[in-house]
Structure 1
Amino acid sequence: MAPEYPYPAPAEDAVDALRFALSAAGEAKLGGKLLFVAGESSGAYLAAWSVLKLRGEGVDVRARIAGLALSFGIYDLSYTPSVNQYCGRALVGTEDLKLLTDAAFPPSRYSTQQRREPDLWPLYADLKGLPTALFMVGTADAALDDSVFMASRWSLAGNGTQLKIIPEACHAFTLLPMGDAGAEGRAELQAFLKNLMK
């Protein structure tokens, strides 16, 4: 990941890993078929981006992948209103998100217009024909709008969509000892995955 390995290295690695997991060799190596793809924060971006890339290569990702679990993702490098207007004091705030995304996509190489290109950012892509997805985010997350906007566009494209907004949860809340918020988030993920396995 950035800054040591800026875009496109992490994205290409994620696509290669997903492509392998869906292959016969991958299924043999991993001991079964890939059912779900999940990611948190930049991992949610990479998961969504990888599925879009494989769909672009002709893979029927809706038939091959039961669902995506995307938690507190960042899907718009031009920054959504919640990123620009966030004034909370949570773990990851506006300056942190901008620092991290600028390391991966240096402003000197990516203009404002390029930061909205569908090939780079899922929020601006054609989202038709994709698996069901859970978008989960907390109300105290600077990237709240990213998940809300992405879930809206995912649904409008005709894909199964669930949006879960956890009150007072900050960025990375499922990974931290956040009491009820963390427990609620983990329970939502488990319920989503179990439901798709029925």
Structure 2
Amino acid sequence: MAATPIDLAIERIRAVYRSWNRETSVTQMRSDWDAAFGGSTAPVTCECVSAGGVDGEWISPDDAPEDKAILYFHGGGFRIGSVASHRDLIAQIALASGCRVLAINYRLAPEHRFPAALDNAVAAYRWMLDRGLKSANIALAGDSAGGNLVLAAMLALRERRLPLPASAVLMSPWTDLVATGASYVSRAEADPIHQRAMILALAKNYLGGQGDPYDPLVSPLYADLGGLPPLLIQVGDRETVLDDSVMFAEIARAAGIDVNLEVWDGMIHVFQMFGAELPEAHQAIVSIAQFLNRHLHIKAERASS
């Protein structure tokens, strides 16, 4: 029987994981991940930048408006991942939306534990404001741990009475570092990659021995969410972290937040990264672009120019 597209995506991930053992260094893991997922031929311009002291990269399609931008935080459990490993996904979002994206290499654990990544995220957003971008013309986006960082950054900005972005996109967001969702059990056999023990190990790596996984800036599921902007959440039905999205969406709606939750049948964690294998990845990115355009009004501006 021929492999299905989702099988091919799963095999790409498993091939990397199989190459690791207890002796594999974090540095090697990061290098392997970037090598496995770092290619992109998307027609975008990439420009390195220091965003408030944080290493970043502008990824821009042709004719993108200068007064609008997306700030992107990559996934990887706060342990691996980079702009390089996510460049193709970010480029596809930039192309589909017609908007330039600032992606940052926030500090990773265990060298830099919480709140180092959050501090970098807030610094990059403040840098965008200092450069003259209006908060109403900025959206945040992120996947997995990056989705966590999107939410934590908005909560931190609210605490500091800074203006919040117009909207945010979350792909398979990791909202609960305590891993309480029933899907950790109900999806354990269906999820080919992530199990609860792995999730808890990543949480410990991020927090260290003294960190509190119930801290709202660590696990946004436990936050007061009042005042957050409209959210688009995409998650795969096969994910053990499915309930991180489902429970969060319920709590956010109860707090009066405009939430659009998309549960994609048969899909895995951050399936949007696999555009070469999965037609669903293309469809999801179209949905992301439509959401961003509704709140940033990018297409309307380009059409009238």
Q: Shorter chain as normaliser: what TM range? A: 0.7 to 0.9
1:75 CA displacement: 0.7
Q: Which residue of structure 1 aligns with residue 40 of structure 2?
A: none
Q: Is the 8 A contact 2:237 2:268 kept in 1?
A: yes
2:289 pairs, out of 182, 190, 195, with 190
2:156 pairs, out of 41, 50, 53, with 53
Instruction: Report matched runs for 1:1-198 at 5 Å.
Output: 1-23=108-130, 25=131, 27=133, 34-61=137-164, 65-79=165-179, 80-85=181-186, 86-106=188-208, 108-110=209-211, 114-176=212-274, 177-198=276-297
Q: Which runs of 5 or more residues in structure 2 are unaligned?
A: 1-107, 298-305
The RMSD of aligned alpha carbons is 2.1
Distance 1:101 1:169 in 2: 23
Q: Which runs of 5 or more residues in structure 1 are unaligned?
A: none
Distance 2:196 2:142 in 1: 20
Q: Is the 8 A contact 1:90 1:171 kept in 2?
A: no
CA shift in 2, pair 1:83/1:21, >3 Å = farther
CA shift in 2, pair 1:164/1:89, >3 Å = closer
The total of aligned residue pairs comes to: 187
Q: Is the 8 A contact 1:22 1:33 kept in 2?
A: no
1:26 CA displacement: 5.3
Q: Deviations over 1:39-91 (max 9, x none)?
A: 10100001110011011111242xxx221001101111111222355233423
State percent identity of aligned pairs.
27
Distance 2:167 2:136 in 1: 13
Higher helix share: 1
Q: Is the 8 A contact 2:178 2:200 kept in 1?
A: no
Greater gyration radius: 2
